[in-house]
């Protein structure tokens, strides 16, 4: 009997591998960072081969660390940074361009062009998304334009496109499988989330040939087999989901109305809406949560681009703190921000504003303002941005959302979690499982090969969550929130061409 499931968590800054035991506990973790490429300000690219090599290294590393026989691993699950686009040559398996990363703004002009053709409504109706450089399709268009002859080669079926899951699946299976799964497909801007098929109208508008697209499959089930040359024996790859979708699953948000927020580089709040795709009236995205056994479930999503990255900026950009965790003591050393608000619109604003021209702002500075006030304002900005999204979720769903399940690196900050509860006027419940995203991918893979029977088998894993209860009075809460909204207005529509 096999004992483990391996999750591969291919993130924006590092590739991780985690081995889970049958009771859901973690046997070992291995992790490698890989280079970020910034060819021009606002552009972010990854080398797909550096992604593959770091991910393979982590997979090998975790087996070595845990001293596990490969034959003890029942399956591999993949979860990944979403939207990031790779185009490669089918014959050689070589990428024809660097991967264009989700954060990259390099396709803003292509988005302007799509908007000018009046496609906003069609995009929303068909894909649940809106026109923004964030999603994959304009990145594919960019690559096909940037590389000589690529359009013709794509039309002849010589090139393949894939999100990172698809790229890793292709590499692990020795080029045998060119497929993806629905949650990843639902982030591309060319996938019809109601018909569950690539959308011909949008493919036509973007001149993306169907011949280059992967086959789209359920999130749980065998996609292919990792060849023995990689890990020493064959292992089925049996579950895939985009990182935020895997976290939703890992958090056990498998019923309509349950929501989680992950505090990483950005913040991503997803609420399960069951078999119904809600159309948001205020800037949330409709997205496929996952598909299991042919049953598609949907989620509403608020995507915040800068959250923990604001703390990285305090550390690396202006040197106010030495380590991310130091932000907590610094924030606690002052009673409040002294009226300072920091809007971290470093790459524009995502949900619910979707303002590509917004830029960061610090307002309310006086002669009494200190480093600690600014650090505290940066942490508080993460909570305020989350409140902006929660307001939309409440309006769109008609649900109160009185509990928010949380995870991610910055969720380890107790000050931030308490302030989050205070500013939402809702309970915040921090998962005791540190690797919720990886757990979600492991569960999908484990269920895909029958290692676990269903999600319910590990339902008790949420026990022991840490609760943060709101303590701030309603009046004070609303005064603070109104000031935040004013600060956001100051940051908007700042950048000029």
Binding site for ligand ADP (CB under 6 A): 11-13, 264-265, 308-309, 311-312, 324-325, 327-328, 408-410, 412-413
**Least distance in angstroms from the C-beta of 242 to ligand ADP:** 13
Please list the residues that pair with 10 across neighbouring strands.
15, 80
**Least distance in angstroms from the C-beta of 265 to ligand ADP:** 3
**Least distance in angstroms from the C-beta of 332 to ligand ADP:** 12
Q: Which is nearer to ligand ADP, 236 or 350 (CB)?
A: 350
Q: State which residue has the least CB distance to ligand ADP.
A: 409
- Is the Cα torsion angle 4, 458, 167, 41 positive or negative in sign? negative
Nearest of 386, 379, 397, 372 to residue 423 by alpha carbon: 386
Instruction: Give, for 59, the enclosing helix (H) or strand (E).
Output: helix 48-66
Residues 6+ apart with CB under 8 A from 408: 247, 261, 262, 263, 264, 267, 308
**Least distance in angstroms from the C-beta of 379 to ligand ADP:** 7
Q: Which is nearer to ligand ADP, 199 or 243 (CB)?
A: 243
Q: Which is nearer to ligand ADP, 292 or 331 (CB)?
A: 331
Residues 6+ apart with CB under 8 A from 456: none
Q: Which is nearer to ligand ADP, 220 or 265 (CB)?
A: 265
Q: Which is nearer to ligand ADP, 170 or 419 (CB)?
A: 419
Distances (CA, A) of 380 to 180, 293, 480: 37, 41, 10
Q: Which is nearer to ligand ADP, 302 or 408 (CB)?
A: 408
In degrees, rounded to 5, the angle at the alpha carbon of residue 108 between the alpha carbons of residues 134 and 280 is 50
Burial class (CB in 10 A: 0-12, 13-18, 19+), 452: buried
**Least distance in angstroms from the C-beta of 145 to ligand ADP:** 29
**Least distance in angstroms from the C-beta of 264 to ligand ADP:** 3
Q: Within 10 A of 40 (CB to CB), how many other CB atoms are there?
A: 10
């Amino acid at each position: 009997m096999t004992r483990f499931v391996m999750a591969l968590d291919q993130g924006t800054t590092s590739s991780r591998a985690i081995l889970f035991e049958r009771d859901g506990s973690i046997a070992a973790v291995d992790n490698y960072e890989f280079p970020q490429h910034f060819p021009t300000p606002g552009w972010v690219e990854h080398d797909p081969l550096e992604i593959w090599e770091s991910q393979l290294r982590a997979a090998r590393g975790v087996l070595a660390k845990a001293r596990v026989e490969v034959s003890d691993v029942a399956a591999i699950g993949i979860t990944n940074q979403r939207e990031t686009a790779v185009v490669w040559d089918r014959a050689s398996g070589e990428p024809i361009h660097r991967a264009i990363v989700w954060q990259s703004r390099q396709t803003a002009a292509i988005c302007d062009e799509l908007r000018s053709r009046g496609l906003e409504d069609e995009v929303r109706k068909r894909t649940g998304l809106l026109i923004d450089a964030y999603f994959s399709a304009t990145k594919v268009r960019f690559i096909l334009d940037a590389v000589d002859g690529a359009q013709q080669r794509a039309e002849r079926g010589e090139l393949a496109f894939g999100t990172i899951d698809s790229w890793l699946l292709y590499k692990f299976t020795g080029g045998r499988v060119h497929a993806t799964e629905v949650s990843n497909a639902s982030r591309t801007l060319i996938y019809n989330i109601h018909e569950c098929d690539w959308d011909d109208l949008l493919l036509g508008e973007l001149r993306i040939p169907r011949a280059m697209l992967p086959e789209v499959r359920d999130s749980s089930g065998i996609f292919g087999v990792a060849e023995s040359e990689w890990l020493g024996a064959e292992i089925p790859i049996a579950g895939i989901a985009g990182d935020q979708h895997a976290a939703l699953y890992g958090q056990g948000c498998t019923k309509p109305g349950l929501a989680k927020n992950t505090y990483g580089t950005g913040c991503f709040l997803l609420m399960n809406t069951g078999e119904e795709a809600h159309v948001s009236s205020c800037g949330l995205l409709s997205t496929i949560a996952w598909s299991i056994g042919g049953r598609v479930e949907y989620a509403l999503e608020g995507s915040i681009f800068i959250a923990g990255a604001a703390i990285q900026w305090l550390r690396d950009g202006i040197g106010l703190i030495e380590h991310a965790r130091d932000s907590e003591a610094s924030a606690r050393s002052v009673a409040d921000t002294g009226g300072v608000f920091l809007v971290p619109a470093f790459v524009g604003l995502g949900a619910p504003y979707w303002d590509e021209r917004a830029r960061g702002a610090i307002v309310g500075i006086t002669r009494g303002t200190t480093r600690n006030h600014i650090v505290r304002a940066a942490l508080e900005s993460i909570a305020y941005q989350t409140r902006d999204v929660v307001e939309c979720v409440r309006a769109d769903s008609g649900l109160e959302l009185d509990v928010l399940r949380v995870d991610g690196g910055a969720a380890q900050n107790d000050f931030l979690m308490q302030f989050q509860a205070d500013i939402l006027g809702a309970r915040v419940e921090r998962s005791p499982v540190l690797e919720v995203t990886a757990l979600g991918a492991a569960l999908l893979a484990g269920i895909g090969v029958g290692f676990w029977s269903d999600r319910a088998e590990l339902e008790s894993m949420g026990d022991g969550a840490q609760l943060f209860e709101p303590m701030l009075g309603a009046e004070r809460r609303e005064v603070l929130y109104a000031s935040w909204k004013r600060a956001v207005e100051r940051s908007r529509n700042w950048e000029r061409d």
